[in-house]
Amino acid sequence: MSSLPTLADDAFFGSVRTILAEARRKVAVNVNFVMVEAYWHIGQRIVEQEQSGSARAGYGQALIKELSHRLGEEFGKGFSVANLKNFRQFYLTFPDFQKGYTLRSELGWSHYRLIVRVEGAAARDYYLHEAASQGWTTRQLEHNIRSGWHQRLLKVPDAAETATPVSPETVFKDPYVLEFLGLSEDPQTHERDLEAALIANLQNFLLELGRGFSFVARQYRISSETSHFYIDLVFYNYLLKCFVLIDLKIDKLAHQDIGQMDMYVRMFDDLKRGADDNPTLGMILCADKDETIVRYSVLNDNAQLFAAKYLTVLPTEEALAREIEARHVLDLPRLGGSR
């Protein structure tokens, strides 16, 4: 009589389960993308019908209204006038879908509905690539669009789908938006309060930091023969293949802050950096900064040092535009490192 499977067979059953779970995931993704393609085709037909139909005013609006009514009777919800207008805009935004333009099958219609509202082809391409490759949920994508993620990068990759080398400038941003901390702009806030809030909201902070970051430690001690020093936050970025040190400052960036971070980076490289690691990077995250100090300090010559401002509230489009403009007011291509 054969014996029943034992716990030793768990790996076998687990492998079969993994196959089925992955197959179901792929089916769900494919079904979602089939609908995305269908919505693109509906948008195409609407545009073609408008172009070949009556030239009278309001024809397009009447066409969509009638189509919505007929589709609703046969297929149920999901074909409101507003949705059909979204399908139309989807086609107009990505008209070359069937001529080699690649939409990302990892994304659902709710992602595309947000992306078509983004101005600029380069920005839309960036959000398509990042949302798919980083697995952004619809909520994360919406937040990143609202917070101007694309504009806040120090350097935007030339083309999202090309093999553009990852560099600190394509990963780091300025400013960083930390509205999830729930901190007021009270000048009495202490650096330890900011640090504690970041640790308490570490998942959100990692999402805001961006691609490739993993948390290592807070108040990380490095020691020389005579002294001990404590770095506020230490991360490792697996895309850049290096440690990233973050020093928090609740005041305006000062010369001594830059000197301190320069020392931290040099010590960390000497004492902690592994043989396979790239040079350590240092980021000073401050409440405000003087671009003159940025330009005429070692920040402008040292490829390992960066400075960025943080905001505790989600900025309006106008406020964000002012922040970005301030970053370029002295014609600086970046905030730290060689030009």
pLDDT in tens, 145-179: 999 999 999 888 765 444 567 899 999 999 999 99
Look-up: residue for tokens 């687990």?
Answer: 14
228-237 vs 242-252, strand pairing mode: antiparallel
Percentage of the chain lying above the pLDDT 70 cut: 82
pLDDT of residue 316: 86
240 pLDDT higher than 50: yes
What is the distance between the alpha carbons of residues 27 and 22, in angstroms, rounded to a whole number?
A: 9
Better pLDDT: 282 or 13:
282
End-to-end CA distance of the chain: 77
Between the CA atoms of 208, 210, 214 and 219, what dihedral angle is there, to the nearest 10 degrees? -50
pLDDT of residue 99: 55
44 pLDDT higher than 70: yes
Instruction: Supply the mean pLDDT for the chain.
Output: 84
Q: What is the pTM of this model?
A: 0.79
Average pLDDT over residues 10-26: 67
Domain with CATH 3.40.1350.10 in the chain: 168-327
Look-up: residue for tokens 């240092």?
Answer: 282
Q: Topology of domain 9-147, per CATH?
A: Arc Repressor Mutant, subunit A (1.10.10)
Candidate from 34-38, 133-137, 161-165, 298-302 with smallest mean pLDDT: 161-165
Domain with CATH 1.10.10 in the chain: 9-147
At 275, the amino acid letter reads: A
- In the chain, what is the greatest distance between 2 CA atoms, to the nearest angstrom? 85
293 pLDDT higher than 50: yes
pLDDT of residue 28: 66
Q: Topology of domain 168-327, per CATH?
A: Trna Endonuclease; Chain: A, domain 1 (3.40.1350)
Q: If pLDDT is split at 50, 70 and 90, which confidence band does 105 have?
A: confident
Cα angle 216-221-225, degrees, rounded to a multiple of 5: 140
Q: Classify burial at 88, counting beta carbons within 10 Å of its beta carbon; exposed 0-12, middle 13-18, buried 19 or more.
A: buried
DSSP alpha helix (H) spans, the chain: 10-52, 59-75, 81-93, 109-115, 121-133, 138-146, 149-152, 168-171, 191-200, 202-209, 255-271, 291-295, 317-327
pLDDT of residue 59: 74
- Count Cβ neighbours within 10 Å for each residue of 34-61 and write b for 16 or more, e otherwise: eebeebbebbbebbeebeeeeeeeeebe
Q: Go through the chain and tell me how many residues it has.
A: 339
DSSP alpha helix (H) spans, 53-166: 59-75, 81-93, 109-115, 121-133, 138-146, 149-152
For residue 249, what are the β-bridge partners?
Answer: 286
